[in-house]
Each structure stands twice: as C-alpha cells, then as structure tokens.
Amino acid sequence: MKSRPFKTLYIIAFFSIFQAGVILPPDNLENWEILMDDNIWIGWEHSDAFDWCRAKATLDAPISYIRRIIEDKANYPNVFERIETTQIITDEIVYIALDMPFPFAGRDYVVKYIQEQVDDEFIYRFHAVIHPKAPPVHSKYVRLIHASGEWRLKSLDSTKTEITYTWNGELLGDFPNWALTRAWKQQGLEVMTWLEEAIEK
C-alpha cells in the first residue's frame, strides 16, 4: 500500500497537470454567441465542457503601457473596481477576491499566470491551482476552482493596442443560470472600461 505522503503528492501533481491542460477556445469568433458588438465586442461559446467568455477592444495606448498594467497584479484593486483584494503568493501565483452584486456572495480564486510572446502578441494565460499559502476557503466567497483564461495583447501601431480577454464563465454557488449571460456581458464591459480609465489617468 502506498504511503499517505506519496498519495498526497500524487493527487496534487495530477490536479496541477489537469488544470495546466485547460484548453481555451480558438481565436476565431465564428461560432460565438454575441452579447455586445460595439467599441467593445463581447461574446461566449461552450467549448471543452465550459462556457467561455471573451471581450475584445482596441485601446489608445502603446502595448508597453498596457503590459505594465496587466503585469502589476498587486495594483489590480486600483484598476478593476470589482476586485476587493489580491495577494501575491509567488511571482506567478496570485489570490484574487471579487465583489459581486447583492445578494450574491463574492467569488475568489487562486491562479497561476504563464507569460509568453508569440510573434507580435504578448499572452498572459492563467489557470486555477492549489497552493498551501493561499487563503483558505471562506464563507464570504465562493471559490472558483476552474478559474482560467488569458489576456492577449497585440500592438496595432505605436499608439493603439488590441486587447482580447478570455475567461471561464463558470460562477458556481447560488448564481442562477438565467443571469449568466447578463453577468458575462457586464464583466467584459467593466474590465475593458476600467482598463481604459486606468490608461487615461
């Protein structure tokens, strides 16, 4: 019989591999349900057992400026108003807690960020992980155990950047299914609007 420490390590390793293997939907938008199609594009589609959401916008700022905002996770509560707190656990792993509209409980998650550059795009992927130094599950929040997604930044010229934000739309807890599309649209709109406001400051 395998020892308990070995079993624990095996389970943690398996969970990490499973989460790291989360497959985001393809870049094209052919099969997406459109929630908003204006200066900000927002849509969703069901792919790989999850409902995925995506928001796209072109902002008037060089990519270097937007990269600094995205990479400064400790400052997220000052940029994205729905974020109550962030805790930097390691250089790559972050705890994030979100406020939700009344009467719903807040949401929180622990994710690992993986940064890469592909051709002229800067990509910041994130997926849920378990870490011993992360805050424990609290009754104030619903832990999003499948949180995942990415930021994708592409420079259009020296003053404009195309931003694509993709996230897993699962909200768990007591959130009603009928309100999901409304919440997804609101999240995409808020994220892009707050990012634009941070650029203008």
The CATH number of the domain holding residue 138 is 3.30.530.20
Cα–Cα distance measured from residue 97 to residue 168, given in angstroms and rounded to the nearest whole number: 16
44 within 8 A of 158, measured Cβ to Cβ:
no
How many domains would you assign to the chain? Answer: 1
Of 173 and 10, more confident: 173
pLDDT score for 49:
86
Q: Which domain holds residue 134?
A: 4-200
**pLDDT 10s digits, 80-113:** 999 999 999 999 999 999 998 877 899 999 999 9
Provide the pLDDT for residue 193. Answer: 97
pLDDT digits (tens, 9 = 90+) for 19-61: 445 678 777 767 899 999 999 999 999 988 899 999 999 999 9
β partners of residue 162: 58, 154
